[in-house]
Structure 1
């Protein structure tokens, strides 16, 4: 898998430690541009206005991507020991070696099932997303933690730098990481990812990272940052106060090949699994709700000319609607054929 779960669950960021030399060397200054390329929001936005900018977390784009695969593995390891036990009970004679094998099967199978379940719980029965809100007026940043609590930190005090993660099939990936420092200025008290465009594949994608980082920096630092960002941004994630709809899950699942529709059809079986995993995962998750005091600090003016959210999204056309339905139905049909043809289910249809 190409997913990057850096900072989620058991891979949570390390805190209560001093800044490392690499972090100090990769520090980003807020008072100057991070790239000469035009800023890009990378479809991370939830809403924008003159008071605050709200974006999704680094894990939102890949939500549920691996859940179908892990669920199959979980069921296989959880059920296999029971299957072997039932087979063994049908035998007329059983020696100590048979019982030893069954014990080993239960320990191994259920141990692996438990480990897979722990991994699945990083996404299911959690939150639909972990929003980050940047208040331009009071210079505060609010970020949802994975346990539902909220980080509150002054924008001007955040230590920003280029962080690193690892994907087994890709190698090193990069994000723009924000540290909340102690009063000594060197001890990391808390950490969250401020910008991550998703599906990064190494150093060649650093320009993309810096463009989305510059989008955030421009909003907070430039006098006309609100105006420029609001004029540029056209697409917003419809997740404020609710779960994303099934159509949005479909759009997100097929997004990696959105520029090449023929690839969406060619790899429709894989993308259909991503869709099922994402949709089912979202159904198990809670919607994050900002504390009342934060909402009070982030009031929006009724006549704000730069107020935009999912209600301002453009109408989707054929490629974002009927075409994706065709692709997902094709993918599910191919998946069903593969299961019938090459899985134990084929025995039900054989002579």
Structure 2
């Protein structure tokens, strides 16, 4: 198993039937409507740099940790205090020993939960501002910055990468089902040795077998088709992307987190508008955590050999947000 943001990815195994069924082929159109869906950092005639699926969700894990940290701290303090301040009136016999052993087991559980909370906090803070993926159409190579199972940059040929639509488990609170593009790197025996996500996650409350749910999930295929057409035909055939900002600022974090809300408000639906307004404090607070996480982190730097391969040969510098 390997960890990517807040996703567990199982490695060193064959492809599953579900992954094979959901495969996105580089030589077959995935959609008739290629869309970037706010997942492109920069694009030029040589390379396209994309977000990973968790970039826009940054701040969510910190949000949960902020609630767990004081709770686990209080539990830890209380448990240690109770174990070290046994009243003198309590007999020092086998019963007390059994109680102390039980309390020790509980203490270990609390310590594990406390450390897990700190670990989760560090997944979005004091790390990288982003984990980009580069698609080089001249060398037909893909470079993924520190994805699951990799100690450094993952490099895989475009023609050998295994892409598919990944369906994640339904989220317990919101009850939505997330879908995203995942790329597996396979060895000579077609076993998964490395993996990384690409683009933006789409989520739906409806099953993908329903017309509305199917239309929402189709957004993942639209994203892949945008990348596929870029690699096969170049940027001139594609709509100009709405670039994701790479500069760290509170305004950019607000823009990233508030983009979906603005789109919903533009539909002028009474019930969805009411829901967006009710959740707006949560949205803006999480955007603040997104900004703090980026501010405490450092920008990723591609290895020199990757930068050399991605140097411009035909156009000026890429447009960046």
Match of 1:151 in 2: 154
Q: Report deviation, 1:191.
A: 1.6
Match of 2:282 in 1: 270
Query: Are 1:15 and 1:189, in contact at CA under 8 Å, matched by a contact in 2?
Result: yes
Candidates 32, 42, 50, aligned match of 1:47: 42
2: distance between equivalents of 1:182 and 1:245? Answer: 40
Query: Are 2:250 and 2:288, in contact at CA under 8 Å, matched by a contact in 1?
Result: no
Match of 2:125 in 1: 124
Query: Are 1:58 and 1:196, in contact at CA under 8 Å, matched by a contact in 2?
Result: yes
**CA deviation map 1:33-72 (0-9, x unaligned):** 1122x21111111100000000111100100123133122
1: distance between equivalents of 2:6 and 2:254? Answer: 28
Q: Report deviation, 1:89.
A: 8.2
Match of 2:268 in 1: none
Query: Are 1:81 and 1:105, in contact at CA under 8 Å, matched by a contact in 2?
Result: no
Q: Report deviation, 1:90.
A: 8.7
Query: Are 2:202 and 2:219, in contact at CA under 8 Å, matched by a contact in 1?
Result: no
Query: Are 1:75 and 1:113, in contact at CA under 8 Å, matched by a contact in 2?
Result: no
- For residue 60 of structure 2, give the secondary structure of its aligned residue in structure 1: coil
Match of 1:250 in 2: 254
Structure 1 residues 126, 167: CA separation in 2 closer, same or farther (over 3 Å shift)? farther
2: distance between equivalents of 1:114 and 1:135? Answer: 40
Matched, 1:190 2:191: no
Q: Report deviation, 1:123.
A: 2.3
Q: Report deviation, 1:206.
A: 1.6
Count of residues paired in the alignment: 295
Match of 1:112 in 2: 113
Unpaired runs of 5+ in structure 2? Answer: 266-272
- For residue 72 of structure 1, give the secondary structure of its aligned residue in structure 2: helix
Alignment of 1:201-220 (within 5 A): 201=205, 203=208, 204=213, 205-220=216-231
Match of 1:22 in 2: 18
- For residue 259 of structure 1, give the secondary structure of its aligned residue in structure 2: helix
Matched, 1:74 2:74: no
Query: Are 1:58 and 1:198, in contact at CA under 8 Å, matched by a contact in 2?
Result: no
TM-score by length of 1: 0.73
Alignment of 1:1-351 (within 5 A): 8=4, 11-36=7-32, 38-83=33-78, 93=88, 95=90, 100=100, 103=104, 106-146=107-147, 149-169=152-172, 170=175, 172-184=177-189, 186-201=190-205, 203=208, 204=213, 205-222=216-233, 225-229=234-238, 231-233=239-241, 235-239=242-246, 244-261=248-265, 264-301=276-313, 303-304=315-316, 307-310=318-321
TM-score by length of 2: 0.80
- For residue 289 of structure 2, give the secondary structure of its aligned residue in structure 1: helix
Query: Are 2:51 and 2:199, in contact at CA under 8 Å, matched by a contact in 1?
Result: no
1: distance between equivalents of 2:263 and 2:7? Answer: 32
Higher RCO, 1 or 2 (CA under 8 Å, sep at least 6)? 2
